[in-house]
Amino acid sequence: MPSESTDKHKEIAHSKGPVSVAIVTVSDTRTPETDTNYHYLEPEITGMGHKIVGYRIIKDEPLQVAEALEEMVKSGAQVIIFNGGTGIAPRDTTYDVLARKIEKPMPGFGELFRMLSYAEVGAAAMLSRAMAGVYHRRVVICTPGSPNAVQVAWTKLIKPELEHLAWEVAR
């Protein structure tokens, strides 16, 4: 149950208007046509009255991850959602790049995401390095690339707090 102060913060945040969101899909195989995560998130975000100000599909290459982050900051995005590259395989570098850039980590995001994932996939949830934090007064969120993971992160964590997150880092 949200506290009175949390409710007040959410009320103030909502009054600030639409949130600018950017989406970065990290995948070696997805295309704009096959990017199911973008096709899921875009109507969810715009359906709430918010706007997509940036979108890219990149390979899980450290330089591309870093460049995409800077591009999305320049796009004016208040919240940047990366999906993909959060596992422990050698090819998964998204987490490593973003973790070095984050100025204020939000460990609760990853903890809650893994808790929710555990209910669905069991102990395999520990392989996820989902994370969030603040970079240049933007909220950066990094989820696994599976459609189910993106949907869980969106519905249970990001969507209920999207306006609140954007407001907190801007005030």
- What pLDDT, in 10s, does the model give residues 117-137? 999 999 999 999 999 999 999
Q: Tell me the pLDDT tens digit for each residue of 157-169.
A: 999 999 999 999 9
Which residues lie across from 143 on neighbouring strands? 83
Q: From CA 18, how far away is CA 53, in angstroms rounded? A: 11
Print the domain residue range for 51.
23-146+153-170
Helix (H, G, I), strand (E, B) or coil at 103: coil
Q: 96-112 pLDDT, tens per residue?
A: 999 999 999 999 999 99
Predicted local confidence at residue 151, as pLDDT:
98
**Residue 3 domain-assigned?**
no
Number of separate domains in the chain: 1
The per-residue pLDDT for range 39-58, each reduced to its tens digit, is: 999 999 999 999 999 999 99
In this prediction, residue 1 has a pLDDT band, given cuts at 50, 70 and 90, of: low
In this prediction the pTM is 0.94
* 88: CATH: 3.40.980.10
Residue 129 lies in a domain: yes
- Other C-beta atoms within 10 Å of 113: how many? 27
| Residue 30, domain member (yes or no) | yes
Residue partners of 145: CB distance under 8 A and separation at least 6:
25, 26, 27, 37, 83, 84, 85, 86
Residue 28 to residues 13, 58, 72, Cα–Cα distance (Å): 36, 7, 20
Asked if pLDDT for residue 2 goes beyond 70, the answer is no
Per-residue CA distances from 128 to 27, 65, 86, 114, 120 (Å): 16, 18, 6, 7, 13
Instruction: Please give the pLDDT value at position 35.
Output: 98
DSSP letter at 135? E
